[in-house]
Chains A and B, each alone.
Chain A
């Protein structure tokens, strides 16, 4: 019997082997699919408790802390990893697969990390590997967005590390667990909050995710934000600030999603909104809330990656990414259209789809914990979600567009979409399978008469408003400014400060010092000649001064010239060690003299 290993290691090892094995064709595709399968089997054998502990610099690093929460996360991460790999099987470039597998592996590393240092290490690997999924698109805007993404994640990482160090200094090397207030928890919350896209440090998400490769964005939409949610569930469950931040994110994300024209940017804002639901549940902190948050996480991973797959397929086939350029694809891409509608109904929380179950849990938990404003915010966000996806589906698939040409994407992409759509519906109809893996026992019945009727009413009336106000919701060319406006103008200011005033100061300082240094270099070329130069210099000056010399002026001039040329000669003379080396006897003589003097003093004194 082989010992199970931390599942992250399987993906990381698998990633390293991709370029080494140099497999091609079907064998390569089989190998890529095999890694998540092995990962899943490994998960089944993981025993609850902590294992894979390594002592490093006096700290016990824990690589496999297994409990219900980490297992639930592990299962969904590995399952969606499989589906996303299936979706990207046609990609020939090894580098993209390596980046994706390292990204998945490090996310799993975070989930199973038992201590803060291990968590931090995997956290950073995640940031570094994920950016390649953006850069591999190889377009100017992807490169730039990738840099902004990395900069913000480095900021978050530094904040997290600061918090972790303060925490370890003040509380000792504790396992990852609930944090009480103080500087440490504030910094750690900021680090986690950046990855979960807290407002206003969310701008990296809608900025970079639409710029990823078609397949890379599917991975991106899953791992970074969800590991953040997981970390919040571990450390900040029951924090009011987190709950209300969730409500704000849910509404803010919807508001901006409704204003977008780029399809994947629209979906990115929905990630913020959906993550808002999750952390609202986690912030409420009750068993129902945390269960709801994690259930929503699992469901969201499924339908959100399905949405990214569908929109990725549309971009892959048509090359168009703006709602104003799309339309009329329902007949040309029926499968993509149907799966997109399934995903839209799931994310909106339609009865029979997975979002219905978990969204209901989160909203009920807010009500049960007597947080009326939070509940209303979440209801408003669910109205907005429905509106936004009605808009997305309508303008992508049903709006009139005669000019567009399209066909269904490659088979592996279709298969991945079908399987993901199936799992959305399966969990919607049979939620018990989801409830069984949640952190605590679930006593929630989603399919009550009032809940179903309520949601249907909500949809119908919101739909009516959509039909009536379609013009107001129709997409427009252009972008809508977000908080990154402030970051970008501030950073441009810093760049100006560096190039104009600070660079000027640098140039002046440099000029001054290089003049001085040049003078000193001349002298230091042959330091031993310095006394001679000084003597000759003084001599020259003296001769000039003694005007009433006995000799004739011509003779004096000649003498002066001779002096000058001698001085120049000395100046130009390079240092030659042998020219100054005294005989060995001199050294011995000096030593004897000093020894004699030392002895004289010693004996006379004593």
Chain B
């Protein structure tokens, strides 16, 4: 937790070397990507898991 608290402000000190897209200029954007991406993926696997899950011997 402590590392997280230290690391986020560090993002404000850095600057993307080759900023191409708007999100490259937002400070600590990678932290946002990390959190949003993880939530998005968890949501997606909940949806896929809900209709594609089967028993182990489904094909037998």
Are the C-beta atoms of B7 and A258 separated by less than 8 Å? Answer: no
A363 to B7, CA, bound (A): 22
Chain B 21-60 interface 0/1 with A at a Cβ cutoff of 8 Å (1 = within): 1001000111111110111111011101100111110110
Are the C-beta atoms of B49 and A461 separated by less than 8 Å? Answer: no
Q: Does A537 sit at the interface, judged by CB under 8 A?
A: no
Q: How many residues of B contact A (CB 8 A)?
A: 41
Given contacts A254-B41, A258-B45, A461-B38, contact A383 B31 (CB under 8 A): no
A457 to B10, CA, bound (A): 9
A133 to B42, CA, bound (A): 35
A503 CB to closest chain B CB (Å) equals: 24
Q: Does A448 sit at the interface, judged by CB under 8 A?
A: yes
A105 CB to closest chain B CB (Å) equals: 34
Are the C-beta atoms of A387 and B30 separated by less than 8 Å? Answer: no
Are the C-beta atoms of B53 and A458 separated by less than 8 Å? Answer: no
Is chain B's binding surface mostly helix, strand, loop or mixed?
helix
Are the C-beta atoms of B7 and A460 separated by less than 8 Å? Answer: yes
A442 CB to closest chain B CB (Å) equals: 15
Q: Does A404 sit at the interface, judged by CB under 8 A?
A: no
Q: Does A488 sit at the interface, judged by CB under 8 A?
A: yes
A457 to B38, CA, bound (A): 13
Nearest A residue to B34 by beta-carbon distance?
A461
Are the C-beta atoms of A458 and B30 separated by less than 8 Å? Answer: yes
List chain B residues, Cβ under 8 A from A566.
none
Are the C-beta atoms of B37 and A255 separated by less than 8 Å? Answer: no
List chain A residues, Cβ under 8 A from B48.
255-256, 259, 480
B60 CB to closest chain A CB (Å) equals: 9
List chain B residues, Cβ under 8 A from A370.
20
List chain B residues, Cβ under 8 A from A456.
7
A454 to B30, CA, bound (A): 5
A560 to B37, CA, bound (A): 100
A367 to B3, CA, bound (A): 29
Are the C-beta atoms of B41 and A450 separated by less than 8 Å? Answer: no
Given contacts A367-B21, A478-B56, A480-B53, contact A459 B34 (CB under 8 A): yes
Q: Which A438-477 residues sit within 8 Å CB-CB of chain B?
A: 448-450, 453-462, 464-466, 469, 472-473, 476-477
Q: From B11, B13, B15, B37, give the contact of A383 (CB < 8 A).
A: B37
Q: Does A179 sit at the interface, judged by CB under 8 A?
A: no
Q: Does A406 sit at the interface, judged by CB under 8 A?
A: no
Are the C-beta atoms of A384 and B55 separated by less than 8 Å? Answer: no
Q: How many residues of A contact B (CB 8 A)?
A: 43
A403 CB to closest chain B CB (Å) equals: 20
Are the C-beta atoms of B15 and A462 separated by less than 8 Å? Answer: no
Are the C-beta atoms of A450 and B14 separated by less than 8 Å? Answer: yes
Nearest B residue to A322 by beta-carbon distance?
B56
Are the C-beta atoms of A380 and B14 separated by less than 8 Å? Answer: no
List chain A residues, Cβ under 8 A from B41.
254-255, 258, 380, 383-384, 387
A355 to B58, CA, bound (A): 37
Interface centre among A370, A473, A477, A481 (most CB of B within 10 A): A481
Are the C-beta atoms of A465 and B53 separated by less than 8 Å? Answer: no
Q: Does A379 sit at the interface, judged by CB under 8 A?
A: yes
A450 CB to closest chain B CB (Å) equals: 4
Q: From A368, A469, A478, A480, give the contact of B18 (CB < 8 A).
A: A368
Q: Does A364 sit at the interface, judged by CB under 8 A?
A: yes
Are the C-beta atoms of A479 and B38 separated by less than 8 Å? Answer: no
Q: From A380, A458, A460, A476, give the contact of B40 (CB < 8 A).
A: A380
Are the C-beta atoms of A375 and B53 separated by less than 8 Å? Answer: no
A456 to B45, CA, bound (A): 24
Are the C-beta atoms of A453 and B11 separated by less than 8 Å? Answer: yes
A453 to B7, CA, bound (A): 7
Given contacts A478-B55, A480-B52, contact A457 B11 (CB under 8 A): yes
List chain A residues, Cβ under 8 A from B56.
477-479
Q: Does A372 sit at the interface, judged by CB under 8 A?
A: yes
B21 CB to closest chain A CB (Å) equals: 5
Are the C-beta atoms of B49 and A466 separated by less than 8 Å? Answer: no
Nearest B residue to A254 by beta-carbon distance?
B41
Nearest A residue to B8 by beta-carbon distance?
A457
A305 CB to closest chain B CB (Å) equals: 26
Are the C-beta atoms of B45 and A450 separated by less than 8 Å? Answer: no
Query: 5 A-B pairs, CB-CB below 8 angstroms?
Result: A384-B37, A457-B10, A457-B31, A460-B3, A461-B35
Return the 4 tightest CB-CB contacts between A and B, nearest first: A461-B34, A383-B37, A465-B38, A450-B14
A residues near B, CB below 8 A?
A: 254-256, 258-259, 364, 367-368, 370, 372, 375, 379-380, 383-384, 387, 448-450, 453-462, 464-466, 469, 472-473, 476-482, 488
Given contacts A259-B53, A453-B7, A480-B48, 10 further A-B contacts (CB under 8 A): A255-B45, A370-B20, A383-B37, A383-B41, A384-B41, A387-B41, A457-B8, A461-B34, A476-B49, A480-B52
